[in-house]
Amino acid sequence: MLPERTSMQACPTQCACQTSSDFYFLNVGKQQNGKLAKKYHPDTNKDDPKAKEKFSQVAEAYEVLSDEVKRKQYDTYGTAGFDAGASRSHQYWQSGPSVDPEELFKRIFGEFTGSGFRDFNTIFDQQQEYIMELTFTQAAKGVNKEITVNLEDTCQRCDGKGNEPGTKVQHCHYCNGTGMETLNTGPFVMRSTCRRCSGRGSVMTTPCIVCRGSGQSKRKRTVMVPVPAGVEDGQTVRMPVGRKEIFITFRVQRSSTFRREGADIHSELYISIAQAILGGTARTPGLHETINITIPAGIQVDQRIRLAGKGIPKVNSYGYGDHYIHIKVKIPKRLSARQNSLMLAYAEEESDVEGTVNGVVTTTTGKRSSGN
- Using one digit for the tens of pLDDT, what is the confidence trace for 178-216? 888 877 766 667 778 888 787 888 888 888 888 887 787
Per-residue model confidence (pLDDT) at position 275: 96
Give the span between the Cα atoms of 263 and 269, in whole angstroms. Answer: 20
Which stretch, 64-73, 108-117, 120-129, 195-204, has highest mean pLDDT?
195-204
Interacting residues of 148 by C-beta distance below 8 A, sequence separation 6+: 220, 221, 222
Closest CA to 157 of 166, 147, 146: 166
The mean of the pLDDT values for the chain is 75
- Give the pLDDT confidence score for residue 86 in this predicted structure: 42
Q: Supply the pLDDT for residue 162.
A: 83
d(CA 10, CA 42): 30
What is d(CA 121, CA 126) in angstroms, rounded to the nearest whole number? Answer: 9
Amino acid 310: pLDDT = 95
**More confident of the two residues 268 and 165:** 268
pLDDT band of 173, cuts 50, 70, 90: confident
pLDDT tens for 54-106 read 766 666 666 665 566 666 666 565 555 555 444 443 333 344 444 455 555 55
Task: Tell the burial category of 243 from Cβ atoms under 10 Å away from its Cβ (0-12, 13-18, 19+).
Answer: exposed
Query: How far apart are alpha carbons 62 and 23 in whole angstroms?
Result: 16
Domain 259-329 is found in CATH 2.60.260.20: yes
- Give the whole-number percent of the chain exceeding pLDDT 90: 34
Are 277 and 297 in contact by the 8 Å Cβ rule? The answer is yes
Residue 212 confidence (pLDDT): 82
Kindly indicate the confidence band of residue 172, based on its pLDDT and cuts at 50, 70 and 90: confident
- Distance from C-alpha of 26 to C-alpha of 191, rounded to nearest angstrom: 6
Q: Find which of 192-206, 251-265, 334-348 is predicted with most confidence, using mean pLDDT.
A: 251-265
How confident is the model at residue 272, as a pLDDT? Answer: 96
The pair phi, psi for residue 6, each rounded to 5°, is -135, 140
pLDDT band at 279 (very low <50, low <70, confident <90, very high): very high
Q: What CATH number matches the domain at 128-168+205-252, 3.40.50.2300, 3.40.50.10470, 2.60.260.20, 2.40.37.10?
A: 2.60.260.20
Burial class (CB in 10 A: 0-12, 13-18, 19+), 63: buried
Q: If you average pLDDT over residues 277-295, what whole number do you get?
A: 95
Counting Cβ atoms within 10 Å, is residue 58 exposed (0-12), middle (13-18) or buried (19+)?
buried
Domain 259-329 in the same topology as domain 128-168+205-252: yes
SS3 192: strand
Whole-number pLDDT of residue 154: 82
Q: List the beta bridge partners of residue 285.
A: 290
As a whole number of angstroms, the distance between CA 321 and CA 313 comes to 6
Instruction: State what percent of residues in the chain have pLDDT above 70.
Output: 63
- Answer whether residue 261 shows pLDDT above 60: yes
How distant, in Å, are the alpha carbons of 10, 133, 264, 299 from that of 258? 77, 18, 10, 21
DSSP letter assigned to residue 279 = -
Higher pLDDT, 205 or 323: 323
For residue 48, is pLDDT > 60? yes
Least confident of 77-81, 233-237, 301-305, 350-354: 77-81
How far is residue 241's CA from residue 88's CA, in Å, rounded to a whole number?
54
Confidence class for position 123, pLDDT limits 50, 70, 90:
very low
Strands (E), 156-298: 169-171, 180-185, 188-193, 202-204, 216-227, 236-241, 244-252, 259-261, 264-271, 280-285, 290-295
State pTM to two decimals.
0.55
Q: Is the pLDDT of residue 132 over 60?
A: yes
Q: Tell me the domain boundaries of the chain.
A: 4-124+181-193, 128-168+205-252, 259-329, 337-369
